[in-house]
A = this chain, B = another copy of it.
Amino acid sequence: MPDAELRIGMVGHGFIARAHTAAWLTVGRTFAPPLRPRLTALAGRRRDAAREAAERLGWESASDDWESLVRRDDVDVIDICAPGDLHPDIAIAALEAGKHVLCEKPLANTLDAARSMETAARHAVERGVRSMVGFNYRFLPAIAFAKAFIADGRIGALRHVRCAYLQDWLIEPTTPMSWKLDPVSAGDGVLADLGAHLIDLAQYLSGMSIAEVSGRMHVFTTARPTADGRPTHVIAPEAASFLAALGDDVVGTFEVSRVAAGHRNSLVLEIAGSEGSVGFDVERPNELLVYDGRLAREEQGERRVLVTEPVHPWIEAWWPPGHVLGWEHAFTHEVLALIEAIADGRDPEPGFDEGLRVQGVIDAVARSSRTGSWVTVATA
């Protein structure tokens, strides 16, 4: 382990915060990062809960005051695992205080907020302060391998993008209201939460930008009880679908839902070109489906590649082939990338610019859903 530490301050202690904590703890004993992460401080809304979480998860201190946290001298990185409405204030304050920032996705709840954050990040770079948005699925070995496969020209010219992120945790009308359904805390609901992953993956893997969209959003259950049983009105969408033009020729289909019967956490995508395709499902995160149209016709077929070989991204540090990794380790690789970028004095990827690019698409889909026509995605 290196002597130099990287002292982390985390905001939030929900399940994503738990996953980030695991990543900060795991990265050092699995990889050889140039800086040693230290779980310095955790902030939550309520002091008691934050203290309990900090003790259980292994954080050295806890508070209910993120504003102090982002100014602590003994903290180098602010890891934002709070709801989206808090992202801009926390991130901008942290960047101004000279802290590197890792911010959960989506970057913000509105396009304006995302723009402010990206501007702050751009200025912070001049002071050597780095920022990263947590599109964690980029850091699954199968996705990183798919990216390389496509970038190497192995699927030829892009023809089709088809993707869906389907969950069913809201399928019962009696499931209570959640901050994830409140437009104040969660913006465009499922479109922002799950859609952000799809949009980023489609743009990242294809190497193209979504330029135009036509979409619709849905609330199937307009009334849900609060956690303590009072009725509330639900506005944030539970499902959304959109068509998205990438470049001149390609129209992709996108769908997100939290009421999709039978789908627990099914992020499925297929990207196909003139020479081949790749397919993926996050419920089987160690597998990439590869189709290679250059093989002899009689031998062509969809191939299940188990992305667990030492030659695959990040795997050499893990287990022998076929000993699969869980969902959580996308975060381990994500924080590794951040640590390395900080140590090297480089900008990590994906930066806030990527977060903003995704936000532009979310915003365009939401507008298209209101106007009923195709909407051009705003460029930064």
Contact = CB atoms under 8 A, between A and B. Distances in A.
Interface of A: 1, 15, 18-19, 21-22, 25-26, 28-29, 32, 55-58, 145, 155-156, 159-160, 162, 164, 166-169, 171, 214-216, 218, 220, 239, 241-243, 245, 249-253, 255, 257, 259-266, 272-277, 282-286, 290-293, 297-306, 308-309, 311-312, 319-329, 372-374
Given A216-B243, A260-B277, A262-B276, 18 more contacts: A18-B29, A25-B29, A29-B57, A159-B257, A160-B166, A160-B257, A160-B259, A215-B243, A216-B251, A241-B252, A253-B253, A262-B291, A262-B301, A301-B303, A301-B304, A323-B327, A323-B328, A325-B327
Contact of A319 (B25, B302, B328): B328
A277 B15 CA distance: 29
Contact of A283 (B55, B277, B319, B322): B322
A275 B261 CA distance: 7
Given A243-B242, A298-B312, A305-B300, A266 B159 contact: no
A98 to B, nearest CB: 29
Contacts of A257: 159-160
B241 A251 contact: yes
A134 to B, nearest CB: 15
Given A261-B276, A302-B262, A162 B255 contact: yes
A176 to B, nearest CB: 15
A284 B305 CA distance: 13
